[in-house]
Structure 1
Amino acid sequence: MAVVVVTDSASGLSADVVAELGIEVVPLHVLVGDRQIREGVDPIEIDYSTDSVSTSAASPGELREAYERALRHSDGDGVVAIHLSRTLSATWESGRQAVRDMGAEDRVRLVDSLGAGLATGLPVLAAARRARAGEALDAVYERAVAAAARARTFILVNRTEQLRKGGRLSSAAAFFGSELVTKPLLHLVEGKLELREKVRTRSRAYAKLVAAAVDAAGGEGAALGVQHLGAAEAAENIAAQLREQVPDVEELHVTEFGPTLGVHLGVGALGVLVVPGGCA
Structure 2
Amino acid sequence: MTVVVVTDSSAGLSAELAAGNGIRVVPLHILLDNTDLSDGVDPIPEDIYDRHASTAGASPADLAAAYRAALADSAGDGVLAVHLSGLLSGTCAAADLAAADLGAGVRVFDSRSTAMGTGFAVLAAARSAAAGADLDTVAAAAEAVAARTHGFIVVQRLDNLRRSGRIGGAAAWLGTALALKPLLKVEDGKLVLAQRVRTASRAIATMVDRVCELAGDRPADLAVHHVANPDGAAELAATLAERLPGCPPALIADLGPVLGLHVGAGALGVVVSTAG
TM-score (norm 2): 0.95
Q: Separation in 2 of the partners of 1:229 and 1:49?
A: 9
* Residue-pair matches, total: 276
Deviation at 1:14? 0.8
Is 2:31 aligned against 1:14?
no
Please, which of 153, 156, 164 is the counterpart of residue 154 of structure 2? Answer: 156
Tell me how far apart the structure 2 counterparts of residues 139 and 252 of structure 1 sit (CA, whole Å): 27
2-structure distance, mates of 1:66, 1:261: 22
1: distance between equivalents of 2:192 and 2:258? 19
- 1:65 — aligned with what? 65
RMSD: 1.5
Equivalent position SS for 1:148: helix
CA–CA separation in structure 1 for the residues paired with 2:49 and 2:135: 43
Aligned-partner Cα distance in 2 for 1:57–1:263: 13
Partner of 2:84: 84
Aligned-pair CA distance for 1:179: 4.1
SS of match in other structure, 1:272: strand
- Contact persistence 2:162–2:174 (CA under 8 A): no
Percent identical pairs in the alignment equals 46
Return the match for 1:209 from 199, 207, 210. Answer: 207
Structure 2 Cα separation of the partners of residues 89 and 2 of structure 1 = 29
Aligned partner of residue 235 in structure 1, secondary structure: helix
Matched-pair contact (CA < 8 Å) for 1:176–1:184: no
Q: CA deviation digits over 1:30-83, x for unaligned, max 9?
A: 000110000011112153444520000100111000001111111111111100
The offset of 1:177, in angstroms, is: 6.4
Which range moved further: 151-160 or 45-54? 45-54
In structure 1, the residue matched to 2:164 is 166
C-alpha distance after superposition, 1:175-194 (max 9, x if no partner) = 35644321111001101111
Q: What is residue 105 of structure 2 aligned with on the other side?
A: 107
Runs of 5+ in structure 1 lacking a partner?
A: none
Separation in 1, partners of 2:192, 2:110: 18
CA contact (8 A) 1:230 1:268 kept: yes
Q: SS at the partner of 1:183? A: coil
Q: Secondary structure at the match of 1:233?
A: helix
- Distance in 2 separating the partners of 1:99 and 1:273: 29
Aligned 8 A contact 1:222 1:251 in 2:
no
Question: How far has the Cα of 1:11 moved from its partner?
Answer: 0.6
Structure 2 residue aligned with 1:137: 135
Looking at structure 1, the residues matched to 21 and 49 of structure 2 have their Cα atoms a distance apart, in angstroms, of 36
Q: Take 1:239 and 1:251, find their aligned partners in 2: how far apart are those partners? A: 8
CA contact (8 A) 1:48 1:267 kept: no
Displacement, 1:165? 2.7
- Letter of the 1:63 counterpart: L
Instruction: Describe the SS at the equivalent of 1:55.
Output: strand
Q: Which residue of structure 1 lines up, in the alignment, with residue 47 of structure 2? A: 47
Assess if the C-alpha contact under 8 Å between 2:180 and 2:196 holds in 1. Answer: yes
